[in-house]
Structure 1
Amino acid sequence: MSHQRKHNTGYILRICGIAALGGILFGYDTAVISGAIESLKTYFNLSPAETGWAVSNVVVGCVVGAFAAGPLAGRFGRKKALMLAALLFTISAIGSSLAPTFTWFVIYRIIGGLAVGIAATVSPMYMSEVSPKDMRGRALSMQQFAIVFGQILIFYVNFKIASIASEAWLIDMGWRWMFASGVIPCILFCILVFIIPESPRWNVMVGRDDQALAMLTRVSNAQHAQSVLQEIKDSVHQDQQNHKQRLNYGDVRVRFILFVGCMIAMLQQVTGVNVMMYYAPVVLKTVTENAQEALFQTIWIGVLQLVGSVIGAMLMDRMGRIPLMRWGTLGSIVGLLITSYALYTQATGYFALFGMLFFMVFYALSWGVGAWVLVSEIFPNRMRSQGMSIAVGFMWLANFVVSQSFPMINDHPYLFSTFHGAFPMWIFAFCCLFSYWFIGRFIPETKGVSLEKMEDVVMAKRYRQQLPKAKPASVEHSKF
Structure 2
Amino acid sequence: MKNSEADSNLFDKWHLIVSASVAGLGGLLFGYDNIVISGAIGYLSRCFHLGTVQVGWAAGCALIGCIAGSAFAGSIVDRVGLKKGLFLCAGCFIASSAGILFARTFTQFVFWRVLGGLGIGGASIISPMYIAEIAPTRLRGRLVTLYQLGIVLGILGAVFANMLIQRIGNSAWNTVTGWRWMFFAGIVPAILFAMMIVPALESPRWLMKSGKRDAAYGVLVRVNGGRLAQREISAIELSLATEEGRISELFNMFLRPLLLGIMLAALSQLSGITPLFSFLPEVFRAAGAATTDAFFQSVLVSLVNLVSTLFALWLVDRVGRKTLILTGTMLQCLSFACVGWLYHVRGNGLAVLLFVMTFVAGHAFGNGVACWVIISEIYPTKVRGRAMSIATTALWLVGYLGNQTFPLMQKYLGNDGTFWWFSLAALVNFLCVLRLVPETRGHSLEEITGFWTSDRNAAAPEAAVVHQGGL
When the two structures are superposed, what TM-score results if normalisation uses the length of structure 1? 0.91
Matched, 1:63 2:61: no
Distance 1:154 1:115 in 2: 16
Change (3 A) 1:249 1:227: closer
Q: Structure 1 residues 323, 301: CA separation in 2 closer, same or farther (over 3 Å shift)?
A: same
The equivalent of 1:99 in structure 2 is 103
Tell me by how many angstroms 1:212 deviates: 1.1
Could you tell me which residue of structure 2 aligns to residue 478 of structure 1? none
Between the aligned partners of 1:266 and 1:44, the Cα distance in structure 2 is 32
Whole-Å Cα distance in 1 between the matches of residues 287 and 248 of structure 2? 52
Residue 272 of structure 1 corresponds to which residue in structure 2? Answer: 272
The answer on whether the counterparts of 1:13 and 1:139 sit within 8 Å (CA) in structure 2 is: no
Unaligned runs of 5+ in 2: none
- Structure 1 letter corresponding to 2:214: D
Q: Relative to 1, partners in 2 of residues 1:243 and 1:27: Cα closer, same or farther, differing over 3 Å?
A: closer
- Aligned counterparts of 2:464 and 2:396: Cα–Cα separation in 1: 33
| Distance in 1, Cα, partners of 2:444 & 2:188 | 37
1:348 aligns with 2:348: yes
Residues 294-332 of structure 1 deviation map (CA, whole Å, 9 limit, x = unaligned):
011001111111111111111111001112211111111
Cα deviation, residue 333, structure 1: 1.1
Do the aligned partners of 1:339 and 1:354 also contact (CA within 8 Å) in 2?
no
The aligned counterpart of 1:473 is none
Q: How does 1:431-450 map to 2 (within 5 A)?
A: 431-450=425-444
In 2, Cα distance between equivalents of 1:379 and 1:265: 14
Q: Verify the 8 A CA contact 1:205 1:236 in the aligned structure 2.
A: yes
Check 1:6–1:105 CA distance in 2 against 1; reply closer, same or farther (3 A cut).
closer
- Partner Cα separation in structure 2 for residue 367 and residue 265 of structure 1: 9
Deviation of residue 254 (structure 1)? 2.4
How far residue 220 of structure 1 moved from its aligned partner, in angstroms, is 2.2
Matches within 5 A, 1:38-437: 38-239=42-243, 242-244=244-246, 246-251=247-252, 253-412=253-412, 415-416=413-414, 421-437=415-431
Is the Cα contact below 8 Å between 2:23 and 2:146 reproduced in 1? no
Name 1:465's counterpart in structure 2: 463
Residue deviations 1:360-407, cap 9 Å, x none?
A: 111110111011001100112232111001111111111111110001
Q: CA deviation at 1:274?
A: 1.2
Paired residues, what number? 456
Percent identity (aligned): 33
Instruction: Measure the CA separation in 2 of the matches of 1:223 and 1:128.
Output: 20
Partner of 1:21: 25
> Quick check: 1:67–1:389 contact (8 Å CA) kept in 2?
yes
Given residue 247 of structure 1, which amino acid in structure 2 is its aligned partner? S
Q: CA deviation at 1:134?
A: 1.6
For the 8 Å contact 1:7–1:220, the answer to whether it is kept is no
Q: Which whole-Å CA distance do the structure 2 matches of 1:96 and 1:212 have between them?
A: 40
Give, in whole Å, the separation in 2 of the partners of 1:432 and 1:313.
Answer: 22
Instruction: Give, in whole Å, the separation in 2 of the partners of 1:224 and 1:184.
Output: 38
Q: 1:228 to 1:249 in 2, by over 3 A?
A: closer
Distance of aligned partners of 1:354 and 1:341 in 2 relative to their CA distance in 1, 3 Å threshold: same
Pick closer, same or farther for the CA change 1:388–1:243 going to 2, 3 Å. closer
Cα 1:250–1:315 change in 2 (3 A) is closer
Q: 2 CA distance for matches of 1:285 and 1:322?
A: 35
Cα deviation per residue 1:53-75 (whole Å; 9 max; x = unaligned)? Answer: 00100011001100110111100
Q: Can you give the 5+ residue segments of structure 1 that lack an aligned partner in the other structure?
A: 470-480
> What is the deviation of 1:136?
1.0
- Quote the Cα distance in structure 2 between the aligned partners of 1:138 and 1:7: 21
Question: What's the CA shift for 1:277?
Answer: 0.8
Q: Are the equivalent residues in 2 in contact too, given 1:55–1:404 (CA < 8 A)?
A: yes
Residues 323 and 10 (structure 1 numbering): CA distance in 2 closer, same or farther, change over 3 Å? farther
Superposition TM-score, scaled by structure 2 size: 0.93
Return the offset for 1:238.
2.5
Distance in structure 1 (CA, Å) of the matches to 2:143 and 2:342? 37
Structure-2 separation of matches of 1:10 and 1:441: 41
Q: Could you report, residue by residue, the CA deviation over 1:142-166 in whole angstroms, capped at 9, with x for unpaired residues?
A: 1110001001011011101112210
8 Å CA contact 1:19–1:193 kept in 2: the answer is no
Residues 1:42 and 1:16: Cα distance change in structure 2 (over 3 Å): same
